[in-house]
Amino acid sequence: MPGVSIEHGQRPLESGVRTDFRDAMSYGSYLRLDLVLGAQQPLSTHHDELLFIVQHQTSELWLKLMLHELRSARDLLDADQLSWSLKRLARVKRILETMTEQWAVLATMTPSEYGEFRTILGPSSGFQSHQYRAVEFLLGNKNADMLAVFESDPPAWETLHTLLEEPSLYDAFLRLLARRGYPVPKPILDRDVRRAWVEDPELIPVFEGVYDDPAAAWDVYEACEDLVDLEDAFQFWRFRHLKTVQRMIGTQPGTGGSSGVPFLRRALDLTFFPELYSVRARIGG
């Protein structure tokens, strides 16, 4: 370019690029990178411990965003804003896809490499992630016994206790259907929301009506499929977690006291929206 000298391999700063941030917000200060990048404090000198820490801290950040989106999605259902709620769920699905892909990075760590520093973890374990439990509570997989794990962490305990007492995303969706005129049985609407959701056969005919005539209420039909997409994405994440753990520790118990792989495998049998799967046996028959 005439009048511009570019040395090989360099790109000169444009004249408008700001370089003085002594009295202005910078990228690093806005993102609090001093805290974020200073939060990785390996307890050993082993090379791969940093990978282990970054993997789990990154997952916790995604879980934080997932909770933000799921709470909003539930509130929007309560406000009869179904389309906006589905927008939030679409983002949650993408978060889950990203978290699932992340396991491939951790899977580059061999059992021998993990064994070099595993003992320093003591009884700490991903089992103790209160944000993961909060996501499960929001999706309907509630377990009051889990609160005992967080008695030494009052803010985490309070978060879970609050979500235990509040309706789940599925509860909010079923209440929206009832307001729309769908025959959701009253005992379901009045159920104790502190209990984990279990399949109710009386709800299946409600969804059968939705699937028999999608055009009658396309947004409801779309919401049903989006919830199935969400559960599929969550199960893929669970499965990839299981396979990564199996690859790294085999049949050893988890550091937090669980049975390890068998415990994770049992989680694959849990379902958030069982009627949306069961209704498929009645479609097109």
| Spatial separation of the C-alpha atoms in residues 140 and 254, rounded to whole Å | 25
54 is an annotated ligand-binding site residue: yes
**In this predicted structure, what is the pLDDT of residue 267?**
77
The CATH fold of domain 46-127+170-281: Methane Monooxygenase Hydroxylase; Chain G, domain 1 (1.20.58)
Contact yes or no for 138/74 (Cβ under 8 A)? yes
- DSSP 8-state class, residue 260: S
Instruction: Look over the chain and give the mean of its residue pLDDT values, rounded to a whole number.
Output: 93
56 is an annotated ligand-binding site residue: yes
240 is an annotated ligand-binding site residue: no
53 is an annotated ligand-binding site residue: yes
pLDDT digits (tens, 9 = 90+) for 120-153: 998 888 889 999 999 999 999 999 999 999 999 9
253 backbone dihedrals φ, ψ, rounded to 5°: -70, 160
**For residues 71-87, average pLDDT:** 98
pLDDT digits (tens, 9 = 90+) for 86-117: 999 999 999 999 999 999 999 999 999 999 99
Which residues have CB under 8 Å from 23's CB, separation 6+?
A: none
130 is an annotated ligand-binding site residue: no
Query: Residue 285 — very low, low, confident or very high, per pLDDT cuts 50/70/90?
Result: low
| Spatial separation of the C-alpha atoms in residues 90 and 230, rounded to whole Å | 8
Query: Residue 245 — very low, low, confident or very high, per pLDDT cuts 50/70/90?
Result: confident
Sign, Cα dihedral of 55, 261, 121, 43 = negative
pLDDT digits (tens, 9 = 90+) for 45-69: 999 999 999 999 999 999 999 999 9
The pTM assigned to this predicted structure is 0.91
41 is an annotated ligand-binding site residue: no
Longest C-alpha distance within the chain, in Å? Answer: 78
How large is the C-alpha radius of gyration of the chain?
A: 23
- DSSP 8-state class, residue 237: H
Which residues have CB under 8 Å from 34's CB, separation 6+?
A: 28
Q: What percent of the chain has pLDDT over 90?
A: 79
SS3 category, 80: coil
| Spatial separation of the C-alpha atoms in residues 55 and 105, rounded to whole Å | 8
239 is an annotated ligand-binding site residue: no
17 is an annotated ligand-binding site residue: no
52 is an annotated ligand-binding site residue: yes
**In this predicted structure, what is the pLDDT of residue 6?**
58
Q: CA nearest 69: which of 217, 77, 176?
A: 77
Domain boundary assignment for the chain: 46-127+170-281
Query: Residue 248 — very low, low, confident or very high, per pLDDT cuts 50/70/90?
Result: confident
